[in-house]
């Protein structure tokens, strides 16, 4: 038996996107939380917790795009042209946010608030655009042959707008728990206080999406609510409840790393819930990873590199996080 290339590639891309969501998730989350923090010193500290790593975090998004083109060129073509407008908005959001990392420290006092706003607005726009794209992806696309045939605004639905807002909450949770891990004192207390309502918002959002999706899509309902699958899949929503409950508990007892770990768990559960709903389609509602797969020569060639190189990437990424480990102190310690 040979290697099942489309499945392996779906796993790799799934892994890459998850890395992106987790890692850029917490630095976008910091942009989302920025307006909730007034002190300039605290804002500097927040940005400093991610400044050495954001560039690497964003590279996972480039990997997602590039591997999709390499392994599922048809999906890349259809999805990206269908999501043209939200993706352009996402990219402009990421541009504002990315340069604000550099520019806000180089601007004088008069221009700084502008780049703080750019950092926050860029994060909001990029996150909502990603969430909207996700919602549109779940809803599916009109495809004939190898190309997208729907309209320019098919992505815009009440459901996709809701997922756009829901992703804000999810990234904010990653951001606030990351800051609990990386900061101390007043800023950390502020983040603990914020994490409580954010957790509840995430929980409600997950609930709404879990009900709304199967109501809209019979296929997805069938996957979740038929025996014996129901029995195997039930742990996913149950674990979501347990993780949320644990989060609210640990917030009461001088937390450090625990909230971030729980936020990661919540996110992974949500992610796997989506994967269960959509598998094996790469262009919902009905184009599978096999139908959209690149020629085996393309998938195989790239697979060798991916399997060999990704472990190294994970290695030196971990090393970089290790070099910049520990609490980021306001002014003094980091100055």
Partner 1 sequence: MFGLSALELARIQFGFTVSFHIIFPAITIGLASYLVVLEGLWLWKKVAVFRDLYHFWSKIFAVNFAMGVVSGLVMAYEFGTNWSYFSAFAGGVTGPLLAYEVLTAFFLEAGFLGVALFGWSKVGPTLHFFATIMVALGTLISATWILASNSWMQTPQGFEIIDGRVVPVDWLQVIFNPSFPYRLAHMVAAAYLATALFVGASGAWHLLRRRDTLAVRTMLSMATWMVLVVAPMQILIGDQHGLNTLKHQPAKIAAIEGHWQNTPGESVPLILFGVPDMTAETTRFAVSVPHLGSLILTHSWDGQIPGLKAFASEDRPNSTVVFWSFRIMVGLGMLMVLLGLWAGWARLRHQLYRSRPLLRFAVLMGPAGLIAILAGWFTTEVGRQPWVVYGVMRTSEAVSNHSPQVLSATLAIFVLVYCTVFGTGISYMIKLVARGPDASLGQAEEMLHRRPARPLSAAPDHVDPAVDLVKE
Nearest CB to partner 1, comparing residues 87 and 202? 87
Q: Are 78 and 66 in contact (CB under 8 A)?
A: no
Show the tokens assigned to 252: 């009461």
Nearest CB to partner 1, comparing residues 122 and 270? 122
Q: Are 270 and 170 in contact (CB under 8 A)?
A: yes
Report the nearest approach of partner 1 to the CB of residue 269 (Å): 27
Q: Where are the alpha helices (DSSP H) in the chain?
A: 5-33, 40-50, 54-71, 73-82, 84-106, 112-139, 158-182, 185-216, 218-224, 229-233, 235-250, 258-278, 296-323
Report the nearest approach of partner 1 to the CB of residue 207 (Å): 32
First-to-final CA distance of the chain? 58
Report the nearest approach of partner 1 to the CB of residue 24 (Å): 11
Q: Are 145 and 182 in contact (CB under 8 A)?
A: no
Nearest CB to partner 1, comparing residues 220 and 299? 299
Q: Are 5 and 293 in contact (CB under 8 A)?
A: yes
Report the nearest approach of partner 1 to the CB of residue 135 (Å): 18
Rg (C-alpha) for the chain, rounded Å, is 20
Nearest CB to partner 1, comparing residues 218 and 309? 309
Nearest CB to partner 1, comparing residues 35 and 65? 65
Nearest CB to partner 1, comparing residues 43 and 217? 43
Q: Which residues contact 28 (CB under 8 A, 6 or more apart)?
A: 97, 123, 126, 127, 171, 175
Report the nearest approach of partner 1 to the CB of residue 143 (Å): 11
Report the nearest approach of partner 1 to the CB of residue 240 (Å): 31
For residue 327, what is the DSSP state? P
Nearest CB to partner 1, comparing residues 9 and 260? 9
Nearest CB to partner 1, comparing residues 198 and 293? 293
Report the nearest approach of partner 1 to the CB of residue 243 (Å): 30
Report the nearest approach of partner 1 to the CB of residue 311 (Å): 11
């Amino acid at each position: 038996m040979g290697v099942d290339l489309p499945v392996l590639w779906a796993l790799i891309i799934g892994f890459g996107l998850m890395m992106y969501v987790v890692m850029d998730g917490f630095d976008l989350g910091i942009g989302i939380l920025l307006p909730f923090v007034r002190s300039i010193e605290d804002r500097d500290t927040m940005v400093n917790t991610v400044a050495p790593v954001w560039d690497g975090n964003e590279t996972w998004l480039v990997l997602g795009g590039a591997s999709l083109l390499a392994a599922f060129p048809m999906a890349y073509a259809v999805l990206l042209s269908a999501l043209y407008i939200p993706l352009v908005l996402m990219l402009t959001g990421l541009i504002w946010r990315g340069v604000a990392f550099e520019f806000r420290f180089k601007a004088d006092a008069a221009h700084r608030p502008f780049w703080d706003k750019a950092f926050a607005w860029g994060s909001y726009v990029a996150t909502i655009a990603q969430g909207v794209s996700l919602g549109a992806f779940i809803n599916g696309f009109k495809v004939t042959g190898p190309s997208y045939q729907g309209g320019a605004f098919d992505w815009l639905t009440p459901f996709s707008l809701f997922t756009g807002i829901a992703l804000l909450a999810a990234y904010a949770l990653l951001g606030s728990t990351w800051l609990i891990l990386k900061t101390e004192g007043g800023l950390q207390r502020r983040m603990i206080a914020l994490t409580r309502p954010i957790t509840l918002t995430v929980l409600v959002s997950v609930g709404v999406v879990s009900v709304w999706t199967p109501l809209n899509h019979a296929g997805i309902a069938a996957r979740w609510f038929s025996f014996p699958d129901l029995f195997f899949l039930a742990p996913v929503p149950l674990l979501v409840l347990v993780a949320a409950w644990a989060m609210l508990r640990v917030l009461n007892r001088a937390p450090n790393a625990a909230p971030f770990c729980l936020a990661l768990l919540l996110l992974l559960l949500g992610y796997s819930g989506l994967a269960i709903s959509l598998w094996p389609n790469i262009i919902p509602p009905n184009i599978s990873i096999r139908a959209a797969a690149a020629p085996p020569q393309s998938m195989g060639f790239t697979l060798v590199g991916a399997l060999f190189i990704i472990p190294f990437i994970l290695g030196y990424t971990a090393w970089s996080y290790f070099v910049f480990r520990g609490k980021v102190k306001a002014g003094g310690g980091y100055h």
